[in-house]
Every structure is written in structure tokens, then in C-alpha cells.
Amino acid sequence: MDEYKVVTHNENETISIAQNIESEKFQNMVICLNGDLGSGKTLFTKGFANAMGIDDVTSPTFTIIKEYQGELMLYHMDVYRLEDSNEEIGVEEYYDRGGVTIIEWSDMIRDRLPKERLEIKFVITGENTRTLVFTPYGEKYRNICESAL
């Protein structure tokens, strides 16, 4: 499995990477974000959304899914609370709606993720330093990593 690692030293660098990935976006794109609290998942999502023309992104912790209209629809999910739940919220229905789906804490629903996706693991390596580990599943996602990182 291919892996691409990028080290960021501040929030602006994380946002810049999100914007680079956004510039390669396509319909039905799925991005899965994992990492500890405060590692940069929501910051990445805000940077990605901002590049799509969406400014008001907040963490959907209590609503699980938030929808935003930008150049494409953005479906922002935080599935942390689903870990011990068999609750069926229909996350799969969003994968082919023609927008971009970003899932925070996607490890919690690994069995419901699409076969082709981009996974990004955020690892805290210092007060402001993060290592982002990109794992592409599928040729389109591999191409994004090659051109955007």
C-alpha cells in the first residue's frame, strides 16, 4: 500500500495542504480523516471547504453530518459518536451524490467506507508539528497524492 508522509509545522501549512488536495477534487470524492483530538482534522476540513468557497464550517460533533453548498456540495461528517452504535445514519448514501464527503474519525465506521477513498492520518509530533500520512485507495486518489503533495 502506498503511503505519502507530509510534516506540517503550523496551521497554515495544514491549510495549504488541504487547499492543494481541494484543487484536485472530483465528484463523489471521499476523504477519511483520523487522528487524536486536536491533531488537525477539522482544520484540514475548514481549509478544504474554504478553497471550495465555503466559510462557515464547524465540527458536526452533535449533528454527525453537515451539508455545505460550494463549488460542489460538501458533506462533512464526524462519526466519533457512532463507535458503539449500530445506528444506521446512511453515510453510504452520501458517497455518490456528486459532492465531496469528508469523514472525521472514519476508523469508527471502517466497514461502511467505500473501496476507493483517500485516508489521512494526523499524528501529533510536537506542539505545532503534525505528520500527515496519506493512504490512497484507488488510482484517482494515488494521482491526487502524486500531484498535490
CA dist 11 and 128 (Å) reads 8
pLDDT in tens, 3-40: 999 999 999 999 999 999 999 999 999 999 999 999 99
Note the pLDDT of residue 85: 58
Q: Which domain holds residue 66?
A: 4-148
CA dist 18 and 133 (Å) reads 13
CATH number at residue 91: 3.40.50.300
- Segment 50-63 mean pLDDT: 84
Dihedral sign computed on CA atoms, order 136, 113, 79, 25: positive
Note the pLDDT of residue 115: 97
The secondary structure of the chain in percent helix, strand, coil, rounded to multiples of 5, reads: 30, 30, 40
Note the pLDDT of residue 87: 61
Reported pTM = 0.94
Kindly tell me if the per-residue pLDDT of 59 is higher than 80.
no
pLDDT in tens, 76-123: 999 887 665 556 678 899 999 999 999 999 999 999 999 999 999 999
Q: Which amino acid is at 57?
A: V
Kindly tell me if the per-residue pLDDT of 55 is higher than 80.
yes
Note the pLDDT of residue 121: 98
CA dist 117 and 101 (Å) reads 10
Structural domains in the chain (count): 1
